[in-house]
Amino acid sequence: MKKLKFLLILVIPIVLLSTIFVKMPFLCTNAISSSAVGMCVLDKESGRILYSKNENKQLPMASTTKVVTAITVLNNCNNLDAYIQVDDSAIGVEGTSIYLRKGETIKVKDLLYGLMLRSGNDAATALACHVGGSVNGFAQLMNDLALKIGTKNSHFANPHGLDNKEHYTTAYDLALITAYALNNPIFKQIVSTKNYVIEATNKSDKRYLTNKNKLLSTLEGCCGVKTGFTSKAGRCLVSACERDNLTTVCVVLNCGPMFEESADLLNASFKDYESVKLLDKNKQIYNEYIINDNTGRLYLYSDEDFYYPLTDDEKDKIKIEYDVTLNDAKEGDEVGEIKIFLAEQLIKKAKLFTMNKIDKLIDSKTLQINELLWEEKVNEN
């Protein structure tokens, strides 16, 4: 059991501000580089940038656009098993295709697999017309979602990624959107699927799809997500990987060896960073007050977990501040907040609540706290 002591003199009502430093196991850190024009590796949970190069440079992104297309469809379509008739504008769209036919009826879900595994531009157009009424209407939905997620330097003009001067993103924005999309279990299932069969329709025999992302078969923990290429955008890849409670998203735009470099970047992220649990909603923060020879106890807790990726050099730079005001608080009352800093940068703020009634500690405004003992009670199972 770890106990940290601070000598404080405070007058009731209590306003408590204490600081502790969190010590954790060390990892080693290595430099990383990329030949991509734009690159970003992002921690999915916290959104922290782990590595980057020109991450805010606006670039064409080819079919990696379809990450945005897929999550926009999933956010706006309630019945993925519904059959829709393919819009005529989706027939014969240039580029990669699942060869949709005029008058064909097909499931929305099958179009999503055709979109993300085969990279069908016709599937993208069919989905856009179904969900947005038109390509332009759907593009507006894409832009609205991107802004909601927090992108700053992107604009989408179509659902497939064919070159258009009004169609661009950045490595960071695309990583941010992908991290958001991976929270959707259907999206994650689709992009991690290696092979899929679209059953025969009224106009076509079965279609057999194979995922173009070869990292799914060659990189441990890879869970997607999308390849892309046009002559203007170059080779582009969005990939993601899960290991040891850490999920990282990698975006390389205009990168010749996109698979090799993405694998190197993702492997490096797991070597250089550890996902550290800095908040545990199941762990109590325990206070013992010694007030005029009478001891009272207060248990505080946060109602959320928080993980953050840290390197070796950062482990002793984490600082946690508790800012708590006690005034006849009852069990379950919000009494303040906890702030977590990396060096001087605030990385997390969360509410603190009481786990027990504490009005017995506050029977006089003249009482003073002579000593405050903090200790974290950890399950010893």
Q: Which long-range contacts (CB under 8 A, 24 or more apart) does 295-299 make?
A: 296/358, 296/360, 296/361, 297/356, 298/326, 298/354, 298/356, 298/358, 298/361, 299/354, 299/355, 299/356
Q: DSSP character for 199?
A: P
SS3 23: coil
The token duo for 34 is 């990329």
User: What DSSP element (H or E) covers 200?
Assistant: none
Name residues whose C-beta falls within 8 Å of residue 205's C-beta, 6 or more positions apart in sequence: none
CB distance 329 to 301 below 8 Å: no
Strand partners, 318: 342
CB distance 111 to 99 below 8 Å: no
Between the two ends of the chain, the Cα-to-Cα distance in Å is 13
Buried b (16+ CB within 10 A) or exposed e, 126-136: bbbbbbbeebe
Active site residues: 63, 66, 119
CB distance 246 to 309 below 8 Å: yes
